[in-house]
Structure 1
Amino acid sequence: MADGKVGVPDDPNKNLKISQNTLCFSCKRGVKGDLKCQKCQVSYHPSCAVRLKGLRVISYEEVICPACVVKHDGEHLLSDITKENELLSKLVLVLMDNQELLRCRINDLETQVAENRNISDLTSNFKNGISDSSNLVGHGHGQSNQSNLNHNQSYASAASSRSATFDVNKNKASSFKDNGRAVTAVSSVSAVNAKMNSSKPKNIIPSASSQNTEQITIQQVSSAILESTSRAAMKDLQDLGDVDNQGQSHADENWIKPYNRRNRKFLVGDNTETADVRAITKFVSFHVTRLHPSTSADSLKSILLDQFPEVTVEPIKSKYPNNYASMKVNISQDNYKKAWRKDIWPKGAFVSKFFQKKGMPQSVVDPTAVA
């Protein structure tokens, strides 16, 4: 192959084989059993494909060339960007809807705040009107009458100077005290005051301060009273389900306090006893089990007589009579601590305090009698 062409020297079918073979996209030489690009069907030598950067291997016979990888990734990236743009547009629409809802909510809250402010203003005005009316009735009654009397007295003197034939019988005097001296006014002054008072609006409550010119109508007072009454009723309805055990306003709210029973005091006599007067001996019982089935009550009593002269032994029915026997041993309470010594009882016997079962009485069975 001095000419540098692909083929076998002196081969008559050399040109046919070259035409049948494809060229490697990297080294531009003929290849057989090549690796083809899955997208653009370009062939590569395996050794040339290894040296390419960005080549993606699909299988032993298929790869994706770097150019197709970039194109494929770009398409995927473009589709992802399109999807993200769609999601963002939907999110923007949702945010716009939420913004509109928030705006409506803010408007509602502003309306409620304005209504609450108006209610508070009406309540404060109502309280001021009540305090002003009480001041007018209580403290300012003398001063207001004095000012009216001074004004009406001057008016009466002017009227008396103009008319000499004034009817004296109709001028009935009324006496008032002002700073320790009597002030006299004619009955015509009362008529003038009544006329002046009737000219004022009846639904206006005057304020105590002369500088405060604000006036409260009866409708405002009625609305404020209705508002406070409704709030109090609503508060009572809300408090119906509340349980208050701290107060003592009702009889069913009293808690039951437990009291301990009184302990009875007693003593134990220590005087000498006689044959006629003596106390009984208090006994304690022990449960002795795991004895041999042939053990009798008399044999166990003979062992315990040296330590407990007052001992009595009663056979009781065991759970497995063929395997072991059980006894009830009664001794004096004075020997209770002594009874817990191991050297007193037979070897291997189980001893415990006897507790009577709450049930039907057990029948005592004598194993010797059965045999």
Structure 2
Amino acid sequence: MTSYDLTDEKGLQQYLEANQFPATSVQLLSGGNANYVFRVTKHDGSTSIFKHAEPVLKFNKDFALDPARMDYEVRILEALSSRRSPLPTSPTTSNVRPARFSSYDQSEKLLEIEDGGRRNLKDAYTDPKLDILYIGEQLATWLATLHTAARNFSLASAHEGQDSRNNPIAVNVYRYSYNDLHTALTQFGHDPQLAFLVNEKFGSLLATDDECICHGDFWPGNILVRDAELQPVELTIVDWEMVRRGTSATDVGQFAAEAFLLDRFRGGRGLLRVFLNAYIAARGHTEVLGKAWLMRMVVHWAVHIAFWPTRIAWSGQEETRSLVDVGVITLQNVLEEDWEKVLESPLLRDVKETYSTLLSRP
């Protein structure tokens, strides 16, 4: 059996030729830390995206990551692309959708999906042609639909039992920032015991959360933007390999953290505020969204803010320090259940009227 090096353009080109795929060009894309992603142009000028998973991260060969993660991405994309999709289409968010599944070579861990565009929302955020408030509202409404409509969806394959209905790879990876939070706190002079306490009390819950299907890596970098001049703009959700059954609070907290960073460093266009308000409006008055949910969302936001900017810099050292400080103060306020201060945090101060209502429910 012929082996192909699917980590570079030449190897993928050889693979495509051997499999009678009509490609005129193969371009390795720069985005993504984990996988090798290519844009392939066909003879008719159309394009598609190929994504290949290796047993280690693309930019950190010392970090092992089971390539079976891609099997779970295929599983959810196939389900969402089928006529019996657990995610119903809605006229209010018809411009937001997951990437369409095309093909998958499981032995090579090579996935083909549609090309959703050449820019992600993080890069496109400053584009004055984009209506950021509209986009934030659309994404929040779509995410709420995912969390409610796919509540009982199983990620198990056809030959697996319901005991295996989650993605154990994603469940394990998702605790990474909680496990390593102590390093960020130590680096900037904070007591690492806070990180250990947060990990023990909240990070441990990630292993057993089972409310609904979560995207698992929902942030502006995984939302592709096409045709900014058109209304409504097309938004494609990609990178589903960390899909898992969990709590919706983590998807919301992760996007809120990155929206906060975009608003803070790239022009203050109000993405955080509109996203948070629209999500609550879309979920409505349900039994899920109460004080416990709010606590999980705020904690996840604060862990993200305190940890990830120390790994992926948004600004200089002092600004990074201020972000860690914000995360630490917010975590301390949550642990002390000082909700007056939590509602005045940079996360909630502009939406406190909406989110204070959650405190009256469990």
TM-score by length of structure 2 reads 0.13
Higher relative contact order structure (alpha carbons within 8 Å, sequence separation ≥ 6): 2
